[in-house]
Structure 1
Amino acid sequence: MFDWDEKPELNITPLVDVMLVLLAILMVISPNIVYEELIHLPKGSAQKELSKIPPVDIKITKEGQVTVNKESFDLSTFSDNFALYAQTLNQDATVLISADQSLDYGKVMAVLGAVKRAGFKEVSLASNG
C-alpha cells in the first residue's frame, strides 16, 4: 500500500562531495590565474638625460685617518679641509660614510655634520647588516 503522507528524504551526500571536489580544484587553480592590465604610459621629456654621478666614499679608520675618494685627511682638521675639498665635488652625489666599529660615536657624527654642512643632501652610513 502506498502512503501519501510519507515524504521522501533527499540524499545530499553526493552533492556535497561534488561541491568539495570543485572547491578543491578552484583553490588549486586560482593562484595561477594571472590578470593582465594594459597600461599606456605617458611619454617623458626627451630633452633631459640622466647623468651618472659618481658617489663620494668616505672611510674613517680607528687611527683617526679619513679618506675621501683616495684623498686623505686628519680627523681633527677634517671639517675645515672637507669644506674646501667639497667645492670640487658634485653636491648632488650620494655620500657613503664607512667607519671602524671601535670609533667613538661623536667622531662619526662630527664627520657626518661636516658633510651635511658642505651641502650634501644624500648621506648614508654603511654597515655590515
Structure 2
Amino acid sequence: MQGPYNRRKRRKLSSEINVVPFIDVMLVLLIIFMITAPMMTQGVDVELPKVSSSPIENQADPLIVSVDREGNYYLNLGDHEEPVTLDGLGEQVVKVIKRTPGTPVMVRGDTNATYGQIVTLMSTLQTAGVPNVGLISDPPSGQ
C-alpha cells in the first residue's frame, strides 16, 4: 500500500546559491551604517598634530590674506597689509586673479582665530574664483 508520499522519486539537487538572505543582511547593514556614520563625526575633540614641512617654492609672489584673533581680515598688497572687510576682500581678490591668473593665495590665521572665521574666509576666496588655498603655519618649537 502506497501513501500520499512517493518515496522513490527524489528531488533534483540544485547547485544554485540562494542570495536573498545575503541581500537582506547587506541592506540592513547599509541602513545601519547610513544612520551611524554622521553620528561618529560630531562632537569629537581633536588636537591637531604639529609637523614640520618643507616650504613651497613658487615663481609668483603669493597673495596673502591674514585673520587676526578678533576676526579682522587683512590683505597683503606688496609691502604692507591693508585692513579689508570680507566683501571688499572678495572684490580685491577677483581683481588680482583676473590680472594674474596663476597667483597662489595663502591664508595666514592667528592661532586664536575661530574655525568659523577661517572657513568663512576660505568660502569667500572660493566664491572669488580661487581654485586652491594654502595655509601658512610656523614650524613647531624646537626646530
When normalised by structure 1's length, the TM-score is 0.52
% identity of equivalent residues: 20
Give the aligned partner of residue 122 of structure 1: 132
Q: Specify the structure having the higher radius of gyration (Cα).
A: 1
Please say if residues 67 and 73 of structure 2, whose CA atoms lie closer than 8 Å, have aligned partners that are also in contact: yes
The reply on whether 1:72 has 2:79 as its aligned counterpart is no
Selected match of 1:99 from 109, 117, 127: 109
Query: How many residues in Structure 1 have an aligned counterpart in Structure 2?
Result: 75
Over 6 Å off, 4+ runs: none
Give the residue type in structure 2 aligned to 1:60.
V
- For structure 1, the 5+ residue unaligned runs are 1-51
Two-structure CA RMSD over aligned residues (Å): 1.9
1:65, CA displacement in angstroms?
A: 1.6
How many Å apart are 1:117 and its aligned residue? Answer: 1.0
Cα distance in 2 between the residues matched to 1:58 and 1:83: 11
- 1:58 corresponds to 2:69: no
Query: So what's the TM-score if we normalise by structure 2?
Result: 0.47
Aligned partner of 2:104: which letter?
A: T
Tell me which amino acid in the other structure corresponds to 1:103.
Answer: A
Q: Find the counterpart in structure 1 of residue 96 from structure 2.
A: 89
The SS at the match of 1:112 is: helix
Q: For 2:94 and 2:124, locate their aligned partners in 1 and report how far apart those are by CA, in whole Å.
A: 13
Contact 2:94 2:129 in 1 (8 A): no
Gaps of 5+ in 2: 1-58
Q: Report the equivalent of 1:19.
A: none
